[in-house]
Amino acid sequence: MANAQLAKPLADWTPPFPRAIDQVALTANTARSYTVPALTHHIVITFTAGTLWGRDAASGAAVVPVADVTDTGSELIQQGQPFQVSPGQALSFINATACVVCISKRQVASRSF
């Protein structure tokens, strides 16, 4: 994805009630990847602590920024932020604090809700 963007943020999209929630346990300052399951086109991300950073794993692992970065940095993820994703897409997350990332998803055969 251009500029290593995690996924397409959806500012005007209200997520439907999730059918399933995946969880990724993060150790402080250690990137972990997550693969979007089949039939999943929209996710909502929440996390239990700290500040979460993410990016499309095809562009590399997410990093906590410690210096100026241009066009290749990880994206700051807000609590409850919805994203449009593609099935099979690999995402990378990192947090300076140990936490659990919750990925709410609704798997449907089509993109319409």
What pTM, to 2 d.p., does this model score? Answer: 0.79
The full set of domain ranges for the chain reads: 2-66+73-107
**Tens-binned pLDDT, residue by residue, of the chain (113 aa):** 444 556 666 655 565 656 789 999 999 999 999 999 999 988 999 999 999 999 999 989 999 988 887 777 899 999 998 899 999 999 999 999 999 999 999 877 755 54
Q: Which residue is it, tokens 């970065």?
A: 69
Which fold is adopted by the domain 2-66+73-107? Jelly Rolls (2.60.120)
DSSP 3-state of 4: helix
Q: What are phi and psi of 13, to 5 degrees?
A: -110, 130
Distance of CA 19 to CAs 22, 50, 68, 92, 106, Å?
10, 26, 39, 22, 5
